[in-house]
Amino acid sequence: MTRHEYNGVTVPVIIRQVGGDLRLRGQEDDVLLVEGELATVEHLGAGQPYLVRAAGDARVIVPDTVAVSVQAVGGDANITDLAADSDIQSVGGDLSLRDAHTVHIGTVGGDARIKRATGSVTVETVGGDATIRDVEGAVSVALVGADLYLRRVEGDCVVERVGADLVLSLDFAPGREYRFSAGSDILCRIYPDTNVIFDLPADTALQLDVEAEVTEREDAPDRRTIILGDGSARVHIVAANRLRLVGEEEDYMVNFGVQLEDELEARLSHLEAKLNQQLEGLDERIQATTIRFASQAERVAERAQREALRAAERVRRTMEQWDTKPKRARKAKRVGFILEGLGTRAAPPPRHDPVTEQERLMILKMVQEGKITIEEAERLLAALEG
């Protein structure tokens, strides 16, 4: 496991890429801690952000007061306790985000669960189901592929498109913007003393389990309204197959929202334990790999040493033979060259092994150290070559 720790961190942290799962948490100090498989941290300089990368799973702890950007996560992401703004651009699996400030979410391939945000929440695309609850600011959702559950949103709430059902448990307040569009049904819980007007297409089916007034709009024949109380708040329904308004005691509403949250929680509940297990096992894997590489390096070094010793021994024997060779043999060799020059070929010399690189380096080193001259080195190489 690769581990990096930095103190005195007050600048943003950018998580460029995590190949596996990400566990990101904020804490009340100035320490940046990164643990992960082949994790790297790059600081761009004074006043510049920290860049984090990991090939596999990663666990990152950041100061909760610094802005965080998560650019790409290949697996699931579990993010908690971020008091500053955060930007999650891409998560390939499921996303669980809790106790954050202002949040922007780009693309989530699986399901998304967002719970407790003190600022606004913006979501571009969620491939599966999504739950968003306990948001003190506004909520804006561009697309959710399956079901969406919204609960306790204090600011504006705009949902451009939900592929399946949309479940609303909101205190509709005057002066806020509420706009929704669903591919299937919209189920809305109505609390006591709710004052709201629902404006919806005339062909949307209705199921009203609460007392409400339904009127046709003279100015827009393709629209109609449902009025509860004094109608001080206004909800605009762009599209839905059916609108169902239920009372506070309706169990279906509670069960539906709880089911979505429980399913996502079940998928993400083992993420922390999984990361701990994988990161702990990573130490052993890296250690085993290091031992294996060290063993290979030792074998290569031993082989190189043996080759060097063989080269040294061969050079030594050749020099001894060269120094002790009888003059008669040297004379015979000169006669052979003379006969070859006159056209009479002498008997071919016996074949020898080619001069190795170690032997050449050893001879050059002897020349450099002044042990032999250049002429003697040439003669020694010639002798080694046979």
- How many Cβ atoms from other residues are within 10 Å of residue 341's Cβ? 8
pLDDT at 218: 80
Return the minimum-mean-pLDDT range out of 19-28, 103-112, 255-264, 323-332.
Answer: 323-332
Confidence of residue 211 (pLDDT cuts 50, 70, 90): confident
Q: What is the mean pLDDT of the chain?
A: 81
pLDDT recorded at residue 274: 54
Instruction: Tell me the average pLDDT across 217-221.
Output: 82
Asked whether the predicted pLDDT for residue 204 surpasses 80, the reply is yes
Predicted pLDDT at 339: 36
Q: Average the pLDDT over 344-350 and give the result.
A: 45
Of 29-33, 144-148, 268-272, 309-313, minimum mean pLDDT range: 268-272
- The answer to pTM > 0.85 is no
Most confidently predicted of 183-197, 296-310, 345-359: 183-197
Question: Per-residue pLDDT for 62 more than 70?
Answer: yes
Q: Tell me the angle at which helices 271-324 and 374-384 cross, rounded to the nearest 10 degrees.
A: 100
Give one word for 274, left, alpha or beta, with left for phi > 0 and alpha for psi -120 to 50: alpha
Does the pLDDT value for residue 252 go beyond 60? Answer: no
CA distance 159 to 162: 7
Question: Measuring CA to CA, which residue among 27, 23, 22 is closest to residue 7?
Answer: 27
